[in-house]
Structure 1
Amino acid sequence: MMMNLTRMRVFNLEDHMTRLLEEFQERIVYGDQDLLNIFFTRYPQGIFTFTCRWNYHAEHCLGDALCADGPISAIHASRKVVLLKQVPAFVALHAAMGNVSAPSLINVDVLGKLKEASFKLGQNLVDHFIVPLRTSLWNTNLSNTASTGCTKELRQQLHLLRLAASRVDNMTAQAAAANGT
């Protein structure tokens, strides 16, 4: 959850939460989570709901639920989705990040290449993240799963991800050159 701490202070969030705690103390189970839910029910103007582009998750891979409000900007994956290999695109992302376990949806030869090219902070994003991700996505067997929406969507958006990664790589190289590193 992202929070604007300045706005929270101006709104005296601490005082509001203290009063809510006193009022609901005997009826809440999950503490802060329940208090926040009560707070935002009473003050809906205090919350901004991101579009699916900024909170892309497994449910957006099923049937007609595909997120189409722009390029994916933040992926929200649970361990279950990745470790149980429920969503091939998320498994491919996980593998490209270097956390490779043996995803059954990815060809064994491709898996070996992913292990060699696994991304580490400070490395070139295009070569060490986008290229392995592309390889993994294009070698994902779509006939083995009903959850193909995210794989297709990520395949279509690879050019945007590559462009963003190139920009980060260029800025990193410029900063390194300026610092003499």
Structure 2
Amino acid sequence: MFSNRVYIAVSLDGYIADKNNSVKWLDIVPVNEKIENEFSNFMNSIDCVVMGKNTFNVVKNFNDKWPYNKKVFVLSSSMQSIPKGYEDKIELLNMKPLKLVNFLNNKGYKNLYIDGGKTIQNFLEYDLIDEMIISTIPILLGEGKPLFSKLTKSKLFKIIDTKIVAQFYTQTIYKKQR
């Protein structure tokens, strides 16, 4: 079975980053074992991570260690080389979503973690997202980088589960209606 899945946090008003493209607002959530287990379980269910250059730049500037134990494919038409220290962690690609999915599936990557606003939006436009795990943090940012953008056609998802993971963190799992 092949699947393309999203795992992302949003503000109550639907933003994944604030107006300065920062995700520091996520720090209001005290990380606990339950939250770490949720992400760890998700990572164990995927084969690789697909993200855009902007998301990669945000993640590599986290103070923590590199959060992924899987191969990461960074999509970019402008990034010419892999930053020092990430040579064994990422691979640069420049492909449209459908071609990319076929390429990765043919390389044995069947369950893809699609991360980052623009990348998620592009995959949604091509109808290539099978599941979204969206964690909502109860903060209103007012403006910023939205998770969703305009689509040429509506996409219907069904709610599989919603749960309170922590005091500042709910999680809803959506599956694409096919």
**In which range does the TM-score fall when normalised by the shorter chain?**
under 0.3
TM-score normalised per structure 2: 0.27
Q: Whose radius of gyration is greater, 1 or 2?
A: 1
TM-score normalised per structure 1: 0.27
Richer in helix (by share): 1
Richer in strand (by share): 2
**Greater relative contact order (CA < 8 Å, ≥ 6 in sequence):** 2
